[in-house]
Every structure is written in C-alpha cells, then in structure tokens.
Structure 1
Amino acid sequence: MKKIKLNFALLALLSFGLLMTSCKKDDQTIIEDTDTSSAEYDALAEGIFNDVGNITDEAYYLNSGNYKSTDGDTLFLGQCATVILDTVVFPHELTIDFGEENCLCLDGRYRRGKIINTGLITLAENGGIISWNASKEREWVEGSNTWNRWDDVYHITGTADGVRVSGQSWTKEIIIPLRRELVCRFFVSGSVEIIPEERPARLLDYGDGQCDNLATVTINGRTYTIHLK
C-alpha cells in the first residue's frame, strides 16, 4: 500500500456555461438557498485534479520503463499526445503536450495544451477561471501488487480552497475518503463538506459505490441531485 502526498495549486481555465441563482431578501420573504454551484465547481476541480494526477502517473511510468500493463493500451494518453521526460534536471520535469487542436484521449475526453509537472499545474481553454489550492493525500488501496492498471483503486483525503468564476471563495474538507477506481470516470463514493463565502455549508456526496455521473448536495437539510462533468 502506497501513500502519495500531493500539494498543488491548480488554475483551470475552462469553457462552460454558468448557472447562478440570485437571491433577494426583503422583510416579508425568505428565499431558500438552493445554489449548488460551489459544490459543482468543486467536483469539477476535484475531477480535473484527479485526471491530471492519473495522466502524469501514466506518462511518467510509460517513459521511465516502469509501466503497469493494460494489455498494450494506456488508459488516458492518445496518439496525439507527446510526452517529454527531462531526467537531466532534478527533480525530473515531465511535459505532456496535447497540441493546439483538441486531442481525443483514450478516456473519451478531448484535451489540448500542456501539462508541465513542476508543482504548478495550469490547464488552459477559453472561458472562466477557477482557482483551486489543495493539500491532498492519495492512498493506493488496491491493485498495487498487479501489473494491470484497470484494477487500481485510490482513496483521496485532504483539504482545499478556491475561488469560483464569479469571484466567490470557498473552502472544503474531505469528510469520507473519495474512492477513485480507474475503471470509472468519476469518484464512486466519499463525501466533502464545502463552505462557500457567506453561505451555509454544503455536503457533496458521491454515492455508495456505483459508477455513474450522479452526486448529491445537501444544503440546510434539503438534498439536490447534480450531474458530474
């Protein structure tokens, strides 16, 4: 069993539409807080962070000669991605270049631009800005004793804070470890407490182990379903 301590500042420039709920309060009406966007942004940032970690792992092992087999295939990197591992400098610098055009990766997602593994990871596309700082521990709980990457399972714990597209900040803490199985695109279980600026806490729950794109957000005792991206 291996534990990896991860400390990253993640700046993600993403292209997506914004869904915002504006609330007005007067002396006679109390508007219920149903805004799940902080939880959705956090789930999106957490997914990007996890993808970057997995892609970096795959690229490093593939180019260092110490790679777990998936019957001849990688899990993420497509033929349009170029990987450069600089072993002259220390610590080693890993660059993954997806090119200027959308590169279809083996997980079905399009990527472009570069991932440069120097401690600061920047993903650039057209759109808004999410700033995300995290201190995470990733524990390899299953599959470390096999050569098949498909059976790898990780538990992720830690804390983070961020600023969403609107400029509102939030903090988070993983309450129940997030479980990521490489055979699934999304986290399959675990829960996160998210506290947006000047708002009640939100509890983001990834479910009970099913591989799907559904999660729930609980605000003031009311639970809402969201779709993961």
Structure 2
Amino acid sequence: MKSFHSSTYRLPLLAAGGLLLLLSACKKEKSASELSPQEEQTIAFTSARSDAQSHGTFDDIFDNILGVNSEVGFGNTGVFGRPGSGPGVDSIPPCVQLTVVRLSQQGPFPVRISIDFGSGCTGRDGRTRSGRIVTDYSGRLLDSGSVAISTFENYRIDSIRIQGVQRVRNLGGPGRRFSVEVHDARITRANGDYVLWNGNRVITQTEGQLTPNLAIDDVFTVTGAASGQTRNSGLIHTWTSTIELPLRKRFTCRWFSAGTVRSSRSGLAGNSPWVGLLHYGQGQCDNLASFTVNNSTYQISLP
C-alpha cells in the first residue's frame, strides 16, 4: 500500500482510525461460516492452481541453478539446455549474462553465480525472464552434502514477480536425492493477486543414473508438503498441500506428468467435500491435469 507523509495528508484521528479498520477488514480472511459454496469451490481451485504454479516456478529455478555448468551442477539443464543438434551447440540465449565470484582464495568453492536475464530474455520455452537469480554454492551440487542457496533480484517470469529463498541440499545416495526448501516465497501477478508459499520437497532421480553426465534421459520423483496464502480477485485464504502420490518429472518435459496432490483450505476437516485432489496424469507430457472437488472432476490447464 502506498504511504503518505503526514505533513501532506492530515486526517482527523478518528477518521484515520476508521480508515485503518476498513483497510484491515478488506484484507481479513473470511471465516468458514462466512463462505458460500461457490466461494469454497473457488478457494479449492485457486489453492490447487497456486500450489501447482509455485511447484512449477521453483522447479524451473532448480533446473536453472543445476544447469549453469558442470562445475556446480549437471550443466545443460533449464535455460542452459541444449537443443539436441550437437554436443557443442549451446541453446542459452545470448541475452543471459553469468557473473562468477569466488568467495574464497583457498579453492573454487564457495562460489556465487548470478544468472542475469537483463530487462527481458526469451528462452526456448517461450517464456521471458528478467532480473537475476543469485546462488551461493558450497560445493558441486552433485556431491553429497553440497548446498545451493538462491535469492532473487527483481526476478520475473513473463509479468510474474518471484521473491523468496530457495535452499537445495544434496542428500547423497543411493542415487541422487535433493532436499528443496523454499522460504517466504511470493509470486505476484501484474494485477496485484499473489501467492505466498513455503515448501519442503525431496527430489529423487529414478531413471538415467547410468548416464550421469547426460540429463536428457533423467526422470525424477518429487515428494513433500507445502503451505500458502493466496489473494485472488479480492478473496484471501490460506491453505496446505501434501503430495499423496509422488510427482513424476521428466527432464524433457516442462510439466509434471504424473502424481497426485491433496490441497485444502486451512482449518478444513479432512473429510470435507471441499478438499481437492489434483491429478497430473498418467505420464503424458502436457499442461493438462484433472481436479476433483465436491465429488466432481474437472480438466484444468496449468501455468
């Protein structure tokens, strides 16, 4: 909210107090007894979509910080992925600038890498990113125990602003496993609607282990839980989500292709008809999912 200097705007004390109460009332989350069935259904839909958008956004960031180069990660993932025309052809747009700062004189780590998309850089996925992702790596993320912490400087995907902190840790074997913690995330749309999100996930590689330096055949599963708050068209609500069936993510696909997420408004009983289930599908690569709430199932398109 815009602030005003008291020297310019002099409101009587009672009027100012009344204005503050009005603003607080506008921002207050409705209680369960105040919600109509239509609002309950809207909340169920927006909770599921907000959670899916948050998962997808930070999964994209995970791919990007792993993809910078083979010194800190896999290399060749996310915006750094290669188009398949040959091992020496990099698909990274020329508008992306990398800055590498060694944080110690004793060795290559820790290291800080900034991925700078400038005022706007469109990738192969058709999305335009701007601003910077800044990541501190304690070691190579393919090594057990290594940690990467990412923050964001005016970072946007298309018109959506991304804020928060993402912490990735390599959990070691067998196989590749990563914990991904997202704290105080805020995803803000141009119209002022937003998602506040905190997530804890474990990402496990299930296919492609025999080709450790080739990401194109990699498949991962994702487990975990999250919580958030959403403002959508003036309606504010908080919610929680749990991955019931592990999400499946192929390197070659932008979206999750299988798995189920249960989401519900905070305080909702577990047997309420307004608890929602988002089904990502049976393995196909597309942005379609099915959503079940109040004994009805709908097909929805994901961000």
| Same fold per superposition (TM over 0.5) | yes
Match for residue 41 of structure 2 among 34, 48, 72: 34
Contact 2:96 2:117 in 1 (8 A): yes
**CA offset at residue 106 of structure 1?**
2.3
Give the secondary-structure state (helix, strand or coil) at the position aligned to 2:65.
helix
Structure 1 unaligned runs (5+)? 1-24
Question: Deviations for 1:68-106, whole angstroms, at most 9, x for unmatched residues?
Answer: 67533456x422111223332554322111001x21112
**Distance in structure 2 (CA, Å) of the matches to 1:49 and 1:168:** 21
CA distance 1:78–1:165, change in 2 (3 Å): farther
Amino acid at match of 1:116: V
Alignment of 1:166-177 (within 5 A): 166=232, 167-177=236-246
Contact 1:188 1:211 in 2 (8 A): yes
Give the secondary-structure state (helix, strand or coil) at the position aligned to 1:184.
coil
CA distance 1:74–1:107, change in 2 (3 Å): farther
**Distance in structure 2 (CA, Å) of the matches to 1:187 and 1:208:** 10
Match for residue 280 of structure 2 among 206, 212, 226: 206
Confirm whether residue 43 of structure 1 aligns to residue 52 of structure 2: yes
CA distance 1:66–1:137, change in 2 (3 Å): closer
The residue aligned with 1:99 is: 118
TM-score normalised by the chain length of structure 1: 0.76
The residue aligned with 2:95 is: 80
The residue aligned with 1:150 is: 216
**Distance in structure 2 (CA, Å) of the matches to 1:85 and 1:177:** 35
* Count of paired positions: 202
Contact 2:66 2:74 in 1 (8 A): no
Amino acid at match of 2:230: R
TM-score normalised by the chain length of structure 2: 0.59
The residue aligned with 2:206 is: 141
Question: Deviations for 1:108-145, whole angstroms, at most 9, x for unmatched residues?
Answer: 22111111125354444362332211111111111233
The residue aligned with 1:53 is: 62
Contact 1:142 1:154 in 2 (8 A): yes
Identity %: 32
Question: Over aligned residue pairs, what C-alpha RMSD do you find?
Answer: 2.9
**Distance in structure 1 (CA, Å) of the matches to 2:302 and 2:291:** 12
**Distance in structure 1 (CA, Å) of the matches to 2:150 and 2:265:** 24
Contact 1:153 1:180 in 2 (8 A): yes
Contact 1:150 1:183 in 2 (8 A): yes
The residue aligned with 1:160 is: 226
The residue aligned with 1:192 is: 261
Contact 1:149 1:182 in 2 (8 A): yes
CA distance 1:121–1:168, change in 2 (3 Å): farther
CA distance 1:171–1:60, change in 2 (3 Å): farther
